[in-house]
Structure formats: C-alpha cells, structure tokens
Structure 1
Amino acid sequence: MMIKLREKILAYGVSTLKDEELLAVIIGNGTRESKVSEIAKKIICQSNSLNLSLEQLMSFNGIGVAQACKILAAVELGTRKVQSDTLSETIVSVDDIGRHLINKIGGAPQEKLVAVYLNNSYHVIDEQVIFIGTVDQATVHPRDILREAVKMSATQVVVAHNHPNGSLMFSNDDQEFSLRLKKCCHLIGINLIDHLIITKKTYSSLKSLNLI
C-alpha cells in the first residue's frame, strides 16, 4: 500500500492523492487486523475535517501516540500554511478575493472580519484580520478598518467575514454595518468595493444583491 502511494506521488504529484490516501501516508503502517488504508478511511469518515483531539485519534484501533501526534502536526502545518497565504500583488477581482478567503477563513470556527486593501489599480496592498467574534455594530467600528487604510494609503477596500454555520444570508447587522462603513469610507475618499460572506465552499456579495 505505502509503496503504491509513494509511486503515485512520484509519478503524478501529491495533489492527486485522496484525503484518506494522504492520511495513510502520514500514519505509515496498519495492524494485523486492519490495513492502513482502512484505518485512514475510518478516521476521515468519522471526523469533521480531522478536527479531532489526541485522545479521539488514539481511540481508533491502530493509532498510537506517535501516529496521533503525526496527524495533529500535519493538520496544524496545513492550517498555518493556509493562514500564511496572501493574495498576490497582481490585479485582483472580487471573485479572486472571495475564492482566496474561502481557503483562508471559510472553515474557521469563529467569525473573522478581514479587510483587503487595494490601490486605484486593484493591486492588493495588504490584507488584515480586523476582528474575531460576532460581526455587528456594537463590536466592530469602521475606524478599525479605515485606520489601517489611511496608514497604507489604500484607496479601495473589500471587507469579508465568515459564517461558521455555513449560511450565505446577510443579517440586518451585516447590512447596517456595511452601510455605515460605506458612509465613513466616502467621507475620507475610500471606495468600499464590497462586503462578502464567506463559507467553507462559496461566498456571497452584498453589492451583487444591491444591499450596499
């Protein structure tokens, strides 16, 4: 099994492996009772995106401390890689930003408000997590977003926050906050391009719904 997976990686690249195959490579070996592929498939089927503790992983037959630590380390490394990814400095569209943020915050367990700052030519200057928690007018103020825009001389901004429950619907708070932010942006000459709701697989746009 492991030899075949290594040959597949060498021949076609690691991206061609299924989730359970990637996990099998990390685990390494199976047991007398279960093949490593069977163990890996069982863990994938019974977990939520490998969101398991050390104890939960070790409850699977064939997974000891060493294998459980390897899995946790691999998951953490993947999470850090996603968090470190940034948009390129080339010209970007709202769709580019939406797809990028699906990977970056779509699976986050808490709401995160992110601001992507651009210049007049739609080149990304920077992106920052502004707030972690429930996004509403009581907890997030436009000044928190615009302060950074002024510092970096950004002329345009896209804001986005994720919905951990998977809903693409904008709440009244979402719309009111966006309208308030748009007014503040206008006062200092910054264009609010859009406000996006991000989920694990897709995103929605306030502007496309004519809500701002």
Structure 2
Amino acid sequence: MMINLREKILAYGVSTLKDEELMAVVIGNGTKKNNVLDLSEKIVSNKNGLNLNLEQLMAFNGIGVAQACKILAAIELGTRKVQSDKLSERIVSVDDIGKHLINIIGSTPQEKLMAVYLNNSYHVINEKTIFIGTIDQATVHPRDILREAIQISATQIVIAHNHPNGTLMFSKNDQEFSLRLKKCCNLMGINLLDHLIITRKSYSSLKKLNLI
C-alpha cells in the first residue's frame, strides 16, 4: 500500500492524493485488523474533521503516541502554511477576501476577528487578527480596528470572524458591532466594505443581507 502511494506521488504529485491517502502516508502502517488506508479513512471522516487532540487520535485502534504526534505535526504544519499565505498584490474583491479567509480561520476551533485593510484601488495593504474569543461590544472596540488602519493609511476595511459551530447566521451582537464600527469608520473617512462570517466551507456577508 505505502509503495503504491509513494509511486503515485512520484508519478503524479502529492496533490493528486485523496485526504485518506495523505493521512496514510503520514501514519505509515496499519494493524492486522485495519490496513493503513482503512484506518486513515476512519480518522479523516470522523465528525470532528481534523480538529482532534492527542487523546482523540489515540482512541483509534492502531494509533499510538508516535503516530498521533506525526498526525498533529502534519496538521499543524499545514495550518501554519495556510496562515502564512497572503492575498496577492492584485486588485481584490470581497469575494476574494472571503475565500481567502476560509483557508485562514474557517477551521480554527476558537472564534477569531480579523481585519483586512485596503487602499482606494482595492489592493490589500495588510491583514491582521484583532481579537480571539466571542465578539461583542464589551470585548472589542472599533478603535482596535481603526488604529491599524490609520497607521498604514488604509481607506477601506473588511472585517470577518469565524463561527466554529458552522453557522452562517449573524447574531444581534454582530450587527450592532458592525453598525457601531461603520459609524466610527465614517467619522474617520474610512469605508467599511463588509463584515463576513466565515465557516469551514463558506462565508456570508452582512452587507448582502442589508444589515449594514
């Protein structure tokens, strides 16, 4: 099995492997009861996706400490690679930003608020994590977002936060915070383009729903 997967990588590239095949390469070997591909398929298809800790991984028959550590290291390496990717210097749309942020924060287990700062030509100047945790007016202030915009002379902002539970619905707090931020942005001559809710596979726009 492993020889076939290695040959597939050599012949066609690692990107051609399915999720369970990639996991099989990381694990290396299966057990008498479960071959490595069957074991890998059980792991990648579990209800938590790949948001598993050491104990949860070791609950799978055939996964010991060494294999669990390999899996966690591979997932963390992939996460860091994605998070290091930046939007290109080309002109971007809100849709481009939404798709980009799905990769950045869509799968994170904690709620994160991010801001993407742009100039008048819709080129990204910077993107920054503003806050980690539940977002409401008591925990996040517009100045936390606008401070960076002023320092880098950004004229437009897209804010976004992820919902680890997978819902694309905006809460009352989300709308109230967005309206408050929009008022502050207007006073500073900055345009709040949108507020996005990010999940693992999609995003929703507060502006498209006419909520700001």
> TM-score category by the smaller chain?
over 0.9
Closer, same or farther: CA 174–53 of 1 in aligned 2, 3 Å = closer
| Residue 75 (structure 1) aligned with residue 75 (structure 2) | yes
Aligned residues: 212
Counterpart in the other structure of 1:11: 11
Structure 2 partner of 1:181: 181
Q: CA deviation at 1:47?
A: 5.4
Percent identity between the two aligned chains: 79
Answer yes or no: is 1:191 the counterpart of 2:191: yes
> Which piece of structure 1 moves more, 109-118 or 55-64?
55-64
1:112 to 2:126 alignment:
no
- In structure 1, stretches of 5+ residues that fail to align are none
Q: Displacement, 1:61?
A: 2.8
Partner SS, residue 46 of structure 1: coil
1:168 corresponds to 2:168? yes
2:129 match: secondary structure = strand
Residue 116 of structure 1 aligns to a residue whose secondary structure is: strand
Q: How high is the TM-score relative to the length of structure 2?
A: 0.94
Amino acid at match of 2:133: G
The 3 A distance-change label for structure 1 pair 100 and 75 is same
Alignment of 1:12-161 (within 5 A): 12-46=12-46, 48-161=48-161
TM-superposed deviation, 1:77: 0.8
- 1:158-186 C-alpha deviation (Å, 9 max, x unpaired): 01111111111111111111111111111
1:108-145 Cα deviation digits (max 9, x unpaired): 21211100000010000000000111111111111110
Distance 1:34 1:183 in 2: 59
> Partner letter of residue 65 of structure 1?
V
Letter in 2 for 1:39: L
Structure 2: tracts of 5 or more residues without a match: none
Matched to 1:135, the amino acid is: I
Q: Output the aligned Cα RMSD.
A: 1.4
TM-score, scaled relative to structure 1: 0.94
Give distance in 1, aligned partners of 2:163 and 2:59. 31
Query: Structure 1: how far apart are the matches of 2:83 and 2:114?
Result: 12
